[in-house]
Amino acid sequence: MKITVAETAGFCMGVRRAVEMALDAAIAHPGPIYTYGPLIHNPQVLALLREKGIRILDEIPEQGNGTVLIRAHGVPPDIRERLETAGFNVIDATCPRVIKVQTVIARHAPSGGASIIIGDKDHPEVVGLLGYAGNAGFVVDNLQDLDALPVFDNAIIVVQTTQNTWLLQEVKTWADKNAPHYKIFDTICGSTERRQEEVSRLSESVDALVVVGGKNSGNTRRLAEIGRKSGTLTFHIETETEIDFEKLESADTVGVTAGASTPNWIINRVCRNLETIPYRKARGRSACSSDFSGCCS
């Protein structure tokens, strides 16, 4: 079996930066150390942060102490103000690519125009972006919802940084036809775009595709969607314990990619366990050794 790992698999710049900032904060600042909401969308990394004493703050108390990191996805501006008012030392770990989108909306909002955000309504990045749009923010994730909005005299369109590139192209086509005066900002992260392009190419050259990452990670789910859309046998797993060895036995070539919040150590574990498939097949039973921890239940 040939295993090909995507060059873009794993941590993006924004996630790596946020995780490093959190670990540094645990050393440099007296406790307690919190993140406001989950720092990133990966359960295994969040477990590591808990081991380092970094806890998740879900609600802002009237009085607080310690340090709070703003998650990589960003937050509405009023959240930061409330954290500082409560007495927390606030460290902003928002991804710089997300800050760019926040800035675009913040500069447009005073004009009174609408800010249309193409993204997942409940995603924390989108919730944060809405906070910069005032009362003129709108979220859509498909062309039907876009059609349902009134045509504004003054509007911009921005995109969640981890959205599908094909959706942005559909939105541009829609705007050319229905609202050519709208200003569109291509705010999909370059890393996201490269990751999606690579998985599209990879899925066409392998018998099966394994996408590694949190089940609640939007960018990881979209990679799996691209694989399935290509017709390639595609699996979305969080760890090596979820590998479906039986379904992968017939594959001569397997591609592996991972979401932007998936650490390298999990990707490596998945690859090591995939490498056992020929031995399992040859023996007709589970082949497990100390080198492949987690491959057998």
Q: Which residues form the catalytic set? A: 125
The DSSP secondary-structure symbol of 111 reads: G
Q: How far apart are CA 216 and CA 41, in angstroms?
A: 6
What is the residue-wise DSSP string for 160-222? -TTS-HHHHHHHHHHHHHH-TTSEE---S-HHHHHHHHHHHHHHTSSSEEEEES-TT-HHHHH
- Angle between helix 190-203 and helix 218-229 axes, rounded to 10 deg: 30
Query: The tokens of 223 are what?
Result: 């990679």
Query: The tokens of 142 are what?
Result: 């498909």
Q: How far apart are CA 153 and CA 76, in angstroms?
A: 26
142 neighbors 171 (Cβ within 8 angstroms): no
Which residues, 6 or more positions from 241, have their beta carbon under 8 angstroms from its beta carbon?
294, 297
The DSSP secondary-structure symbol of 259 reads: -
